[in-house]
Amino acid sequence: MHLVENNICPRDILTEKAFKNAMASDMALGCSTNSILHLLAIAHEAGVKIELETINEISERTPNLCHLAPVGNYHIEDLNDAGGIQALLKELSKKDLIDTSLPTVTGETVFENIKNVKNKNTDVLRDIENPHSITGGIAILYGNIAENGSVVKRSAVDETMLKHEGPARVFDSEEDAIKSIYSREIKEGDIVVIRYEGPKGGPGMREMLAPTSALAGMKLDKSVALITDGRFSGASRGASIGHVSPEAAAGGNIAYIKENDIISIDIPNKKIELKVTNEELAKRKSEMSLKPKKELTGWLKRYSKLVTSANTGAVLE
């Protein structure tokens, strides 16, 4: 975030424009789904109201200029050698995709910081006229599974999986899902659903690199999707859809998915749907009980009670 170097509280100077600059930069980089969680939490603490739909709007107009590992063959040190984040900002400024008038910690504006910067390697950091894609790295999906939204790193999704429909394989913990993957119980076309791993259900929304790595290791990352109310590592790839909100532990519809239910994923159109009727969902809610993982005590019990789902940044009420 672009903050003035003085004694003013960041809460007073973190503006919606600064948030949008940060988000546009993230989209151009290809970004991590974790960034959505963090930026929403920062905006909340600063008193700036940001909706998930704002992220879709920014993503739609911001080209993806950089494919760092695991999506591409370049790493953060390569981006640094190409000119770093300042060079990225310079590319975005060519099409007025960021507000260059904002002050920064240098005491200068964004414009003053980047005016003499050059992109030294257009293979690592593509020119704004030659992006990897015309849209950013993140998409927010909505539907009856994720009424308040879910997040996917679409820049890391194989083209064949941008639209996918398949049977649900349902697990109430990360460990159970990993065991099933390594036991070869997951088949091409399946959609792995991991629930009760959100902020409230975890509790704490731990990072789930292991299931996505397991799918990649079993050569299933281009044929199997993963849906969870948990979150992922920046190293994840494939059709990994996280941050499902409301989460299972909060009574979200992900808690009522049954084995072999058909799920439809449409990333270009920002949709994720469980193919059952509203009447069937209502029936399941009356018949199925939520499944907290374990009896919690102390701080974790208080945290689980007070934390909100990922669409808010998993902040405490």
Catalytic residues: 233
Q: Are 212 and 176 in contact (CB under 8 A)?
A: no
Residue 73 CB neighbour total at 10 angstroms: 11
User: 106 with 5: CB under 8 angstroms?
Assistant: yes
Q: How is 105-147 classified by DSSP, letter by letter? A: TTSSBHHHHHTT---S-TTTS--TTS-SBSS-SEEEEBSSS-T
Residue with tokens 């950091």: 125
Q: Please answer whether residues 234 and 32 qualify as being in contact, where contact means their C-beta atoms are separated by less than 8 angstroms.
A: yes
Count the neighbouring beta carbons within 10 Å of the beta carbon of residue 260. Answer: 11
Whole-angstrom distance, CA of residue 100 vs CA of residue 103: 8
Q: Which helix (H) or strand (E) holds 287?
A: helix 278-287
